[in-house]
Amino acid sequence: MTMSTAPRIDETSIAEALGAPAPDASRVRGILARAQELEGLDAAAVADLGRVEDPDLLEEIFTAARTVKETIYGKRLVLFTPLYVSNLCANDCAYCAFRSSNRGVVRKALTQREIAEETAALVAEGHKRVLLVAGEAYPRHDFGYVLDAIDTIYGVRGPGGEIRRVNVNVAPLETDQFRQLKERGIGTYQIFQETYHRDTYHAVHRAGRKMDFDWRLGAMDRAFAAGVDDVGVGVLFGLADWRFELLALLQHVAHLERRFGVGPHTISVPRLEPAEGSPLAAHPPHPVGDRDFRRIVAILRLAVPYTGIIMSTRESAAIRRETFALGVSQISAGSRTSPGAYAHPEAHAAEQFSLGDHRPLDEVVRDVAALGFIPSFCTGCYRLGRTGADFMDLAKPGEIKRHCDPNGLSSFLEYLLDHASPETLKEGLERIGAVLAELEGEPRRRAEAMLDAVHSGRRDVFC
């Protein structure tokens, strides 16, 4: 059999899976028992879980997802923030305030000096991980702008430390451009297909290179071919039926696993939010309610247990609180979606969409800790070369205890000592004590030694 090289979404098989009769309780329980073996789920099982309406069975899905999340990720939640460098864009995505036909908005591409100022503001707040974001049009049409921006961000040293991992969310690139990203030392390359439903895709992408569905769908193949092995995929929920999107997304994941031996590092689950000048964003054609949103996270957690799930500040604090435990492993915090807004909150370049969670980083950290999680700023894996398939091996539960728990704790303590308000410091130290008490043996000894090192003034302690 020849191996296909380009991803292809098989809409017919998705329609068949979604057309099957609703599963009975014993089938659902069988699926959940299998999922708790941490081996993932096939398309038929995912379609079945998507059709469950009985509230008690739905609760069983949530409970199973919580168990898988706790087994694989423990108590950690990794924190990052987006850094929007430019809102110039040649595309016309019907849902986005940056789209080319949205003429009334203020456009801005930050200079490298301004990018350094934004970075310094984030470093001062305590961030260690940023996601560089841009529209698809660079000053002087030069992709070198993005490469320079990465260098600029990594180059900033402040009293509060430095950015240790730059992830990138920019439009799909040529293989050679991916190579250049890799050389710049990026963490994850991330891009969302927006919708895997081809007709819907064409209806909402009305100008520019983004009109080409297959060019976007093939981006991760080009990234892998260029050696970028941590990639992040996602769906913009609200454009098409979420059940269709889940099955199509999992086809994309399966394609990458078949072809490259490893799937995506992360999956993002943005929901459409209101955006200036976009009637479509205000009235999504397939709105996803809060219950279904939680179900999407839970089903993904069961279907691809070792893949990170990212939830952004598009969601309100309340929804975020209810959803973390179902499977989320990374969250953004203290975000702004207009270029320049960290260093100059009073400036008013257009923001991409409205946020649901406006709290500053310190408040999010305190809240997350009070909920029982360890807010982690760890960048250990990627800096020790544990990416792609190596990372997936490490994501196995035993390894988490050896590396990720101590790294999460030491990076959290560093944040608390250098940046936290007195209330957050108090809450955080209590949380560290409680989590440490649950560790045993070598992970506990290692965590204690790393925490001692941070207390005595060392920084960036990881294993």
Nearer to ligand SAM, 102 or 410 (CB): 102
* Contact in structure between 400 and 69 (CB atoms under 8 Å): no
Does 93 help bind ligand SF4 (rule: CB under 6 A)?
A: yes
Considering the complex, what minimum distance in angstroms separates the CB of residue 358 from ligand SAM? 15
Identified binder of ligand SAM from the candidate list 352, 376, 379, 407, rule CB under 6 A = 352
Identified binder of ligand SF4 from the candidate list 28, 62, 74, 91, rule CB under 6 A = 91
Which partner from the list ligand SF4, ligand SAM, none does 265 bind, CB cut-off 5 to 8 Å by kind? none
CA distance 332 to 325: 16
Which region among 91-99, 222-230, 446-454, 455-463 touches ligand SF4 (by CB under 6 A)?
91-99
Q: How many residues bind ligand SF4 (CB under 6 A)?
A: 10
Identified binder of ligand SAM from the candidate list 92, 114, 194, 221, rule CB under 6 A = 194
- According to CB under 6 A, which residues from 224 to 243 bind ligand SAM? 236
Task: Show the binding pattern over residues 362-401: x = contacts ligand SAM (CB under 6 A), - = does not.
Answer: ----------------------------------------
Does 273 help bind ligand SAM (rule: CB under 6 A)?
A: yes
CA distance 262 to 201: 26
Task: Show the binding pattern over residues 161-190: x = contacts ligand SF4 (CB under 6 A), - = does not.
Answer: ----------x-------------------
Does 210 help bind ligand SF4 (rule: CB under 6 A)?
A: yes
Does 297 help bind ligand SAM (rule: CB under 6 A)?
A: no
CA distance 75 to 130: 21
Which residues sit at the interface with ligand SAM, rule CB under 6 A? 95-96, 133, 135-136, 169-171, 191-192, 194, 236, 270, 272-273, 275, 281, 314, 352-353
